[in-house]
């Protein structure tokens, strides 16, 4: 759990010159920890359940998008996790039981305090002030662990939305993101670039964390954008990949990344897939540190660009590589070249898929009324 604050509350990034060199370049000192407050009860009167059972889905996400480390992310269509939640008289009032975990992994704990879905569900129950009803939860994992596709966030998002739906949708999406952040903080760090798009859909900019300030970015409906996702048989735990990041960066890289992140936001709003790809490929801070830890990643990026991708980078903490293009057929060909590069250079088997932007986010799939 991240509990340390920025060194200076008013200046989360401070600039300085190391004393060891007479005329060094400026550096930006970066803190990866954030202050946060725990969730509070937001509903004055405890709501009653409107359903006996609900099933929800939350999509996979691509965090960072190259230069947008910890403040940009998007949801992708078709991949994700499901949660089935039931009112259960056999569970003590105000508590939740995780009864079953199925899908891509069964290694996860069924202790709600040690499970992404459980933590988010408990946080949502606390926001709603649930004290009189017990719940049981089934989690179906559609995403593998440590894939770089927001596996923990998908579980947390599906669970938070399920609790909110079963009690009549009393909370807004930003409040559900806060509940999901409780889970992310304990699993991979207090960052919202997965959980926000998992709940809200589309592209999301995290403008501030304290207080949380989220800005949905609307990609034009009349423009085409496809993500080529290539996932190798290699696990890259988020905590490990975050630990590899530099604590200081050259000022010139800070300026460069800031300009590329701004260009990426502009590209999203204008529906410019080519500019989006160029900006996504231009990270000089995080990707250069993480790419060498993923066998073959640099060759995979080169293969994607040579095959015609507009851009390519690491999805989240990796190891999935993500490329962008404006046509599904082109995406399939690019994916084949990326798979070949992972095998030839990284000696890793991988699977490619071409997906569109998920503009909806976590949602109710079906329900049973009381």
Q: Which residues are catalytic?
A: 184, 238
Map 277-293 to HEC letters. HHHHCCCCCCHHHHHHH
SS3 content of the chain, % helix, strand, coil (to 5): 35, 25, 40
Beta strand residue intervals within the chain, DSSP E: 13-16, 27-30, 51-63, 72-87, 96-103, 135-141, 203-209, 212-217, 226-232, 248-250, 311-314, 321-325, 350-356, 363-369
> Judging by DSSP bridges, how do beta strands 96-103 and 135-141 pair with one another?
parallel
Give alpha helix (H) positions in 218-272.
238-243, 251-270
How far is Cα 190 from Cα 34, in angstroms, rounded to an integer? Answer: 7
How far is Cα 31 from Cα 27, in angstroms, rounded to an integer? Answer: 13
Q: CB–CB of 62/313 below 8 Å? A: no
Q: Which residues pair with 62 in a beta bridge?
A: 74
349: which 2 tokens?
A: 């088997």
- Which SS3 state, helix, strand or coil, does residue 106 take? coil
How far is Cα 282 from Cα 331, in angstroms, rounded to an integer? Answer: 20
């Amino acid at each position: 759990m991240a509990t340390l604050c920025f060194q200076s509350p008013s200046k989360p990034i401070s600039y300085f010159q190391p004393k060891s060199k007479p005329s060094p370049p400026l550096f930006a000192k970066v803190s990866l920890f954030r202050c946060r407050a725990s969730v509070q009860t937001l509903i004055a009167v405890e709501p009653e359940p409107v359903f006996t059972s609900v099933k929800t889905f939350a999509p996979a996400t691509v965090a960072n998008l190259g230069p947008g480390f910890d403040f940009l992310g998007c949801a992708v269509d078709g991949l994700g996790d499901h949660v089935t939640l039931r009112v259960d008289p056999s569970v003590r009032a105000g508590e939740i039981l995780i009864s079953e975990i199925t899908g891509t992994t069964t290694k996860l704990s069924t202790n709600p305090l040690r499970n992404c879905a459980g933590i988010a569900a408990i946080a949502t129950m606390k926001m709603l002030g649930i004290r009189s009803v017990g719940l049981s939860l089934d989690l179906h994992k559609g995403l593998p662990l440590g894939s770089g596709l927001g596996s923990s966030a998908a579980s947390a998002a599906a669970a938070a939305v399920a609790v909110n739906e079963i009690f009549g949708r009393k909370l807004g999406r930003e409040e559900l993101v806060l509940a999901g952040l409780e889970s992310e903080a304990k699993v991979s760090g207090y960052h919202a670039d997965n959980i926000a798009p998992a709940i809200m859909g589309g592209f999301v900019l995290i403008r501030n964390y304290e207080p949380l300030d989220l800005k949905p970015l609307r990609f034009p409906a009349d423009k085409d954008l496809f993500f080529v996702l290539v996932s190798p048989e290699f696990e890259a735990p988020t905590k490990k990949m975050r630990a590899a990041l530099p604590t200081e960066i050259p000022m010139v890289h800070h300026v460069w990344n800031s300009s590329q992140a701004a260009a990426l936001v502009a590209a999203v709003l204008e529906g410019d897939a080519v500019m989006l790809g160029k900006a996504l490929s231009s990270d000089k801070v995080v990707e250069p540190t993480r790419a060498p830890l993923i066998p073959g990643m640099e060759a995979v990026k080169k293969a994607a660009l040579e095959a015609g991708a507009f851009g390519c980078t690491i999805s989240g903490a990796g190891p999935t590589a993500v490329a962008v293009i404006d046509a599904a057929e082109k995406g399939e060909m690019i994916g084949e070249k990326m798979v070949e590069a992972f095998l030839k250079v990284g000696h890793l088997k991988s699977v490619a898929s071409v997906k569109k932007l998920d503009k909806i986010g976590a949602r109710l799939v079906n329900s049973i009324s009381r």
